[in-house]
Amino acid sequence: MEYLPEELATYIEQGTIDDWLGVISSGKEARVHLAAKGDGLLAVKVFKERNDRSFKNRADYHMAMMPLHTRAARAMANRSGYGKALEDGLWCQREAETLGILAAAGADVPRVVAHGCRSIVMEYFGTAESGASRLSDLRQWLPDARGCFAAVLRNLGLFLECGIVHGDLSPYNILYHDGRPVIIDFPQAVLIAASSAAEALFERDVCVICEYFRRQGVASDAGRVAHQLWSRHALRRTLRERTTEGTGEGP
Ligand SMILES: Nc1ncnc2c1ncn2[C@@H]1O[C@H](COP(=O)(O)OP(=O)(O)O)[C@@H](O)[C@H]1O
Ligand SMILES: [Mg+2]
């Protein structure tokens, strides 16, 4: 009999889930569980406790997210016990918030059902037998690689509209479910308004995706794709700012 993780036990007590069915994936940063709720299934991502996790963009993340919370930022920089606990919760909260914003904007990301300071209960993609394949797992050619590429780019455009860059996009973080891509794994997403590295991270994300689809037979010029999406986003933002200035609305 496997040991029931504490977070899952709490979600069962609260009625968020009915039952724990097992582990879908156990990675370096988090373990993802399968849970039953009513007639359906949910995924529960539980972050690892220690922050020996190897997130990239860590320094940039702190600068982008923590300008006002100086005590918290200092504690995290010092790696104090308090800082570590805060940081553990921060990654998780950041992912939950980001998923919420992007789902509301119509992006193809899992819907968040609930979250705690170290775990997220979210929409599950897959069957009772196995989780949806990641693009990186697919051995065969994608049936509609061109359509899938277009869907991923549509999502990247939506992310930009929300002022967000994924920052760790790759075929490992895209599920393929019912013929469409679902983008996951957002703890290191950055806010464009708060991160000087956002554009470079975006270009990297686009490059990785273009390279994957090139191998799937869909050629593209990654630099051009990134530039077009980014400048469209910049233009929309400028127009929006002008409109709010004109009406006297906005912050
Ligand atoms: N909502 C979900 N539905 C189905 N499988 C998921 C879901 N979220 C994550 N997974 C599975 O768990 C794995 C790890 O999740 P991810 O969020 O990428 O965390 P990490 O890469 O940090 O371990 C994914 O590669 C995927 O196989
Ligand atoms: Mg991942």
Pocket-testing residue among 46, 138, 175, ligand 1, by greatest number of atoms within 8 A of Cβ: 175
Lowest mean pLDDT among 30-34, 54-58, 195-199: 54-58
Question: Residues 64, 191: contact at Cβ < 8 Å?
Answer: yes
DSSP 126: B
Q: Is the pLDDT of residue 251 over 80?
A: no
Residue nearest to atom 1 of ligand 1 (CA): 124
Say what the pTM is. 0.86
pLDDT digits (tens, 9 = 90+) for 159-203: 999 999 999 999 999 999 999 999 999 999 999 999 999 999 999
Q: Tokens for 243? A: 């409109």
Ligand 2: centre distance to CA 134 (Å): 9
Q: What is the pLDDT of residue 70?
A: 55
Question: Residues 42, 120: contact at Cβ < 8 Å?
Answer: no
DSSP 241: H
The band of 67, judged by pLDDT with boundaries at 50, 70 and 90, is: very low
Question: Residues 21, 32: contact at Cβ < 8 Å?
Answer: no
Q: Cα–Cα distance between 33 and 226 in angstroms, integer?
A: 34
pLDDT digits (tens, 9 = 90+) for 116-173: 989 999 999 999 999 999 999 997 889 899 999 999 999 999 999 999 999 999 999 9
Domains and CATH numbers, the chain: 8-247 (1.10.510.10)
Strand partners, 200: none
CA-angle at 116, arms to 115 and 117, nearest 5°: 130
Ligand 1: centre distance to CA 177 (Å): 13
Question: Residues 11, 17: contact at Cβ < 8 Å?
Answer: yes
CA-based nearest residue to 29, from 51, 44, 12, 13: 51
Ligand 1: centre distance to CA 48 (Å): 14
